[in-house]
């Protein structure tokens, strides 16, 4: 019976049917299956298949995002159950993400967020046009492993540097890694402003994030 | 300095893309969305104007639901024709529905150095250099600020960019990088100084403005407020949608047009509510996001269709259109850039886009290449010749000449041939040499284009403004910097 649920959960993610994922998760819990089992044997295998199909070019971005949505819907049911049992899904790391002040470009930043989430990171997306102080406040509050700063305008790139400075002033710089990206951002700019990592696209962002947390 | 511009005029080829019923369906759907879902206007100034014009405004979400009749009534005030003025009247650009004018692309962040080939961040000097080459080319009718002056302070950068271009070129200038009121005010002050007064500027707007909408169904507050300042001064102002299938718009083309259309016409209507009769234009650069990366593609069949379709929409609203064409996604000039830039420009011209952007940039409007600029100009010259079409009259039927040559023989020695031969198109960069000549160096378009650009950069140093005016512009920028330095 558990096997059947696991197979259906996996399939619902592969098929991109978040409502089904939600219903099967509900069913599995009602049938008394442990939440951690549901995640490890039903959901994660599904996400892995979707990830592989995406990497091989068979699946497109919407496939990936719809699967991530299914996963999220399931977690809404699973998280309280895990909490009751004093369990937690191990996360790859915590990331605060946002597009810097003065800049409202959203798509790239959100894609980076989705890819990080899909790869096990806990992401706090602060949105666009995010004030320097907001980054610092949030960082002080949740002590993330990484802050990811997106900037798509040459006039707002400078705010990536300002956030890094403000982190230093708040005494947080050596505890938190900073990665930067966005259309006009280059590796040399990242080095110039003392960022710890740079990536040109969302997959690259995941790789950099993994490297940064393992340091 | 140049005294003529090569634009497409009275094209004899046209394209049928959307039927009258299709356009009406898109229009009705658009009004429905604007009225029932609303559009986000994150500016209280804008919301005040909309509210005074019977929009239902949610101040917290900053969303305005605007009745369809109000939109239609406001749009009916927009002038259908006007002229983009140049510092030299011979270079004026009429937007009267009979021309397509080509401009440079805008706001690149890197440049491939013409002499070292190095890819590096762009400076004010680069802005001036690119403007000199664009000024030299008859095919380039107006300037967009092609790249960013990244060595200038962010709060006055766009002013330095304008100055750099005005100093070297008398062609019309359009800015797309001013997204706040105070920089726009200073830009107008500069334009007033050059035009010789506020009224003179209003009569002959030597500067026009392009702003972006924020898909889906939103605007940027700064862009709206900057646009209002421009409209008040009588500068032509357009709003450009970049709604992209699957990311910021529906994946289907018609749906994407509706989203983009709602953004553009809601912004143009706002301008007309605030300053009835102000010159506005429709602008669009819609695309299909790449399904694997989400990237803005800048080229592809969807772009070509959007290019033609938005033209029909702009015609329907009776305002000029500025269309994002060219602007290849390719990393270097080559097969991809040639396909994308030729087809996108062809589609946009065949529906008579009044303004076309943008020659010279690679990698989705990010990297300026002088080679690309020269090659794009050649594509444009092919289009100009193509759209002249075939004139069928006595002189062109050439019966007398056909009779006198008769069967066999050739037409090379005919007076008629000599008289008309300059009408035939000649390439600058197409390789029509014998194979063995090519084989010696295996060179071609890219090398020649670069050599030409290098020559222009070395030899062509136009001066468009006198010392007094330059000093005045410097003073205005300096005052702006003193006031707004953070
Ligand atoms: C779409 C777009 C817009 C849309 C954004 C819609 C939205 N909801 O986000 C709109 C129309 C609103 C817009 C507005 C403007 N834009 Co714009 N825009 C673009 C465009 C065409 C594509 C951006 C995009 O979404 N790409 C798709 C995503 C998937 O890619 P991405 O953003 O690059 O993100 C990827 C990587 O960069 C990286 N990444 C991104 N963030 C991060 C963060 C981290 C930590 C890491 C590791 C990696 C990473 O991973 C992402 C995923 O692969 C670019 C040109 C281009 N080719 O990039 C111009 C561009 C960025 N815009 C530009 C300009 C000038 C503007 C405006 C000023 C125009 C105007 N006059 O209104 C305004 C500015 C508004 C503002 N205050 O921010 C210029 C900037 C030039 C410059 N010199 O600064 C560009 C380069 C175009 C150009 N050449 O003119 N724009």
Q: Are residues B331 and B205 in the same domain?
A: yes
On whether residue B312 sits in a domain, the answer given is yes
On whether residue B25 sits in a domain, the answer given is no
Q: Are residues B200 and B329 in the same domain?
A: yes
Q: Are residues B380 and B405 in the same domain?
A: no
Measure B90 CA to nearest chain A CA, in Å. 35
On whether residue B121 sits in a domain, the answer given is yes
On whether residue B271 sits in a domain, the answer given is yes
On whether residue B128 sits in a domain, the answer given is yes
pLDDT at B327: 86
All domains in chain A, ordered by first residue:
3-84 (1.10.1240.10), 93-214 (3.40.50.280)
pLDDT at B350: 92
Q: Are residues B229 and B362 in the same domain?
A: yes
By CB atoms closer than 10 A (0-12, 13-18, 19+), residue B52 is: exposed
Q: Are residues B366 and B400 in the same domain?
A: no
For residue A131, pLDDT over 90 is answered with yes
pLDDT at A138: 98
Q: Are residues B398 and B278 in the same domain?
A: no
pLDDT at A210: 96
Q: What is the DSSP string of B159-209?
A: HHHHHHHHHH--SEEEE----SHHHHHHHHHHHHHHHTSHHHHHHS-SEEE
Could you give the ipTM of this predicted complex? Answer: 0.89
Q: Are residues B415 and B328 in the same domain?
A: no
On whether residue B40 sits in a domain, the answer given is no
On whether residue B202 sits in a domain, the answer given is yes
On whether residue B454 sits in a domain, the answer given is no
Q: Are B216 and B243 in contact (CB under 8 A)?
A: yes
Give kind and range of the element (H or E) at residue B282.
strand B280-284
Q: Are residues B127 and B254 in the same domain?
A: yes
**486 residues of chain B, pLDDT tens digit each:** 788 999 999 998 888 899 999 999 999 999 999 999 999 999 999 999 999 999 999 999 999 999 999 999 999 999 999 999 999 999 999 999 999 999 999 999 999 999 999 999 999 999 999 999 999 999 999 999 999 999 999 999 999 999 999 999 999 999 999 999 999 999 999 999 999 999 999 999 999 999 999 999 999 999 999 999 999 999 999 999 999 999 999 999 999 999 999 999 999 999 999 999 999 999 999 999 999 988 888 788 999 999 999 999 999 999 999 998 998 999 999 999 999 999 999 999 999 999 999 899 999 999 999 999 999 999 999 999 999 999 999 999 999 999 999 999 899 999 999 999 999 999 999 999 999 999 999 999 999 999 999 999 999 999 999 999 999 999 999 999 999 998
Q: Are residues B399 and B377 in the same domain?
A: no
Measured distance CA(B220)–CA(B40) in Å, rounded: 9
Cis peptide before B216 (omega within 30 of 0): yes
**Best of A102, A103, A108 for a ligand 1 pocket test (most atoms within 8 Å of beta carbon):** A108
Q: Are residues B416 and B322 in the same domain?
A: no
pTM: 0.94
**Residue finishing a domain among B386, B407, B435:** B386
Inform me whether the C-beta atom of residue B220 falls under 8 Å from chain A C-beta atoms.
yes
Band (pLDDT 50/70/90 cuts) for residue A119 is confident
Measure A187 CA to nearest chain B CA, in Å. 12
Q: Are B243 and B64 in contact (CB under 8 A)?
A: no
Average pLDDT of chain A, as a whole number: 95
| Alpha helices by DSSP H, B318-426 | 335-350, 370-387, 394-397, 399-405, 415-420
Q: Are residues B410 and B339 in the same domain?
A: no
User: Which residues span the domain enclosing B416?
Assistant: 394-423
From the alpha carbon of A104, which atom of ligand 1 is closest? 78
Question: What residue of B is the nearest CA neighbor of A103?
Answer: B220
Residue A166: CA count within 13 A, CB half-sphere = 17
Overall residue count recorded for chain A in this entry: 215
pLDDT at A144: 97
Inform me whether the C-beta atom of residue B214 falls under 8 Å from chain A C-beta atoms.
yes
Residues with CB under 6 A from ligand 1: A 102-109, 111-112, 148-150, 152-155, 179-184, 199, 201-202, 205; B 106-109, 148, 176-177, 179, 211-212, 214-215, 220, 223, 242, 248, 293-296, 364-366
Band (pLDDT 50/70/90 cuts) for residue A103 is very high
Q: Are B321 and B286 in contact (CB under 8 A)?
A: no
Measure B243 CA to nearest chain A CA, in Å. 12
Domain count for chain B: 2
CATH code for the domain of B372: 3.20.20.480
Distance from residue A106's CA to the centre of ligand 1 (Å): 8
Q: What is the pLDDT of residues A48-57, one digit of tens each?
A: 999 999 989 9
Q: What DSSP state is assigned to residue B132?
A: H
Q: What is the DSSP string of B205-256?
A: -SEEEEEEEETTTEE-HHHHHHHHHHHHTT--EEEEE--EETTTB-SSHHHH
Q: Are residues B206 and B354 in the same domain?
A: yes
């Amino acid at each position: 019976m558990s096997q059947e649920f696991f197979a259906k959960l996996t399939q619902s993610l592969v098929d991109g049917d978040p409502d089904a994922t939600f219903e099967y998760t509900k069913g599995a819990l009602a049938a008394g299956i442990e939440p951690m089992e549901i995640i490890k044997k039903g959901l994660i295998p599904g996400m892995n298949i979707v990830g592989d199909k995406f990497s091989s070019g068979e699946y497109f971005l919407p496939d990936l995002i719809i699967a991530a949505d299914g996963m999220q819907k399931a977690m809404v049911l699973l998280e309280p159950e895990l909490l009751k049992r004093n369990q937690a899904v191990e996360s790859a790391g915590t990331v605060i993400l946002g597009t810097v002040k003065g800049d409202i470009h959203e798509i790239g930043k959100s894609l980076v967020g989705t890819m990080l989430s899909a790869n096990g990171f806990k992401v706090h997306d602060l949105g666009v046009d995010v004030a320097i102080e907001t980054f610092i406040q949030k960082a002080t509050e949740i002590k993330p492993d990484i802050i990811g700063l997106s900037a798509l305008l040459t006039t707002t790139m400078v705010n990536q540097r300002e956030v890094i400075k403000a982190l230093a002033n708040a005494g947080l710089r050596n505890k938190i890694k900073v990665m930067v990206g966005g259309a006009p951002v280059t590796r040399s700019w990242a080095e110039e402003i003392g960022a710890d990592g740079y990536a040109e696209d969302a997959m690259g962002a995941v790789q950099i994030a993994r490297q940064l947390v393992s340091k | 300095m140049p005294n003529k511009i090569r634009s497409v005029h009275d094209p004899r080829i046209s394209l049928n893309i959307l039927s009258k019923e299709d356009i009406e369906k898109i229009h009705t759907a658009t009004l429905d969305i604007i009225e029932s879902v609303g559009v986000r206007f994150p500016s209280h100034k804008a919301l005040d104007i909309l509210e005074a014009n019977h929009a239902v405004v949610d101040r917290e979400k900053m969303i305005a639901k605007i009745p369809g009749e109000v939109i239609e009534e406001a749009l009916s005030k927009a002038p259908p024709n006007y002229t983009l003025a140049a510092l030299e009247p011979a270079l004026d650009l009429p937007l009267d529905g009979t021309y397509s004018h080509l401009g440079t692309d805008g706001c690149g962040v890197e440049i491939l150095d013409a002499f070292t080939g190095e890819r590096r961040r762009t400076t004010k000097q680069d802005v001036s250099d690119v403007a000199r080459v664009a000024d030299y080319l008859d095919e380039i009718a107006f300037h967009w600020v092609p790249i960013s002056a990244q060595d200038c302070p962010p709060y006055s950068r766009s002013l330095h960019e304008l100055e750099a271009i005005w100093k070297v070129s008398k062609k019309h200038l359009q800015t797309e990088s001013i997204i706040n009121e105070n920089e726009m005010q200073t830009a107008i002050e500069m334009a007033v100084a050059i035009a010789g007064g506020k009224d003179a500027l209003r009569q002959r707007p030597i500067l026009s403005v392009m702003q972006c909408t924020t898909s889906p169904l939103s605007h940027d507050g700064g862009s709206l407020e900057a646009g209002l300042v421009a409209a008040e001064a009588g500068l032509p102002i357009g709003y450009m949608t970049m709604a992209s299938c699957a990311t910021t718009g529906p994946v289907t083309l018609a749906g994407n047009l509706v989203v983009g259309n709602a953004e553009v016409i809601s912004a143009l209507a706002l301008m007309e509510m605030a300053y009835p009769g102000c010159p506005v234009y429709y602008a669009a650069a819609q695309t299909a996001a790449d399904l694997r990366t989400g990237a803005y593609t800048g080229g592809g069949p969807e772009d070509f269709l959007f290019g033609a379709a938005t033209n029909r929409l702009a015609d329907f609203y009776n305002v000029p259109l500025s269309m994002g064409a060219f602007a290849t996604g390719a990393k270097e000039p080559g097969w991809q850039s040639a396909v994308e830039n030729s087809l996108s420009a062809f589609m946009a011209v065949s529906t008579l886009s009044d303004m076309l952007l943008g020659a010279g940039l690679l990698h989705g409007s990010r990297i300026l290449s002088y080679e690309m600029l020269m090659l794009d100009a050649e594509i444009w010259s092919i289009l100009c010749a193509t759209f002249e079409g075939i004139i069928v009259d006595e002189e062109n039927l050439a019966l007398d000449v056909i009779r006198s040559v008769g069967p066999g023989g050739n037409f090379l020695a005919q007076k008629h041939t000599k008289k008309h031969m300059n009408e035939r198109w000649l390439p600058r960069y197409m390789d029509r040499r014998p194979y063995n000549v090519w084989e010696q160096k295996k060179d071609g378009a890219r090398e020649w284009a670069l050599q030409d650009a290098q020559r222009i950069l070395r030899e062509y140093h136009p001066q468009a403004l006198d010392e007094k005016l330059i000093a005045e512009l410097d003073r205005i920028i300096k005052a702006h910097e003193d006031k707004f330095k953070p």
